[in-house]
Amino acid sequence: MPLSRIYKLHLSPDRKYVKALKNLLGFVPGNLSLYKMAFRHRSIALGIKRGGKNSNERLEFLGDAILGAVVAEVLFKMYPYKEEGFLTEMRSKIVSRVNLNQLGKKLGFNELIEFDPTTVNITSKQSSLLGDAFEALIGAVYLDKGYNFTKDFLIQRIIKPHIDIHTLEQTETNFKSKLIEWCQRHSKDIVFELVPNQEGDNAKLFSIQVLIDNEPMATGIDFNKKSAEKLAAEKTCELLAI
């Protein structure tokens, strides 16, 4: 065991943190400050000098790209006979904020993320803190250890044990949640509004229109409100190419 490793794990003032990271990652981190940054939310970073730059947002940008590349390759090789559209759809399912948030929760990120609880609610369904930190962590691993290491780490430690690709393949896309999630990510208001039926006065039909930031999007018409909403959401997703 090299000396630096012994120091990090047993002597350094950060040894508890290093051990927690080792349990999470399966390896002893090299540059600890990268990992600390990956778990530092903007809400707490703003209190620090040059805070914006010290939050995990830049690492999240990098990690999102690295994760996208690794998942693209995994799918490319896993499905040699599927076309590009299928691969794109599968990748969105895997890297969806909902999925990454769940992953962050499962991996115990709650204990690691530094954030300001007076401004951010980590348990809220709207929160993407966990998923964002997951991507930032990938960015940190990449800068610390390089692409091939990060790819192996993602495949062996994350994808194989935690992501059931074949089940995701079967999952029918829920367009309403997809749309709502998209609006949350882009800070847009979304309303499903019951509008007068444009197909004449067939009282049995419901027309639901999606409004995003008060701009009318697609309309769905069906015999019950739920199906009309679903249809309106699907059409809006298509319109926005989400």
Is there binding between residue 237 and its own copies (CB under 8 A)?
A: no
Told to check if 126 binds its own copies by CB under 8 A, we report no
Nearest to 37 by CA among 97, 98, 114, 92: 114
Q: Is 241 in the site for its own copies (CB under 8 A)?
A: yes
Give φ, ψ of 240 to 5 degrees: -90, 0
Pick 67 or 103: Cβ nearer its own copies: 67
Residues 77-116 that bind its own copies (CB under 8 A): 80-84, 87-88
Residue 132 assigned to a binding site: yes
Q: Is 64 an active-site residue?
A: yes
Determine the longest span between alpha carbons in the chain, in angstroms.
Answer: 80
Could you tell me if 113 and 20 are in contact, meaning their C-beta atoms sit under 8 angstroms apart? Answer: no
Q: Is 14 annotated as belonging to a binding site?
A: no
Closest CA to 22 of 13, 32, 12: 32
> At 31, is the secondary structure helix, strand, or coil?
coil
Note whether 186 binds its own copies by CB under 8 A: yes
Q: Which is nearer to its own copies, 20 or 195 (CB)?
A: 195
Q: Is position 205 an interface residue for its own copies (rule: CB under 8 A)?
A: no
Structure tokens at 19: 């051990």
Helix (DSSP H) and strand (DSSP E) numbers for the chain: 14, 3
Q: Which residues are catalytic?
A: 64, 135
Binding site for its own copies (CB under 8 A): 52-53, 57-58, 60-62, 64-66, 68-69, 71-73, 76, 80-84, 87-88, 139, 142, 146-148, 151, 182, 186, 188, 212-213, 215-218, 239-241
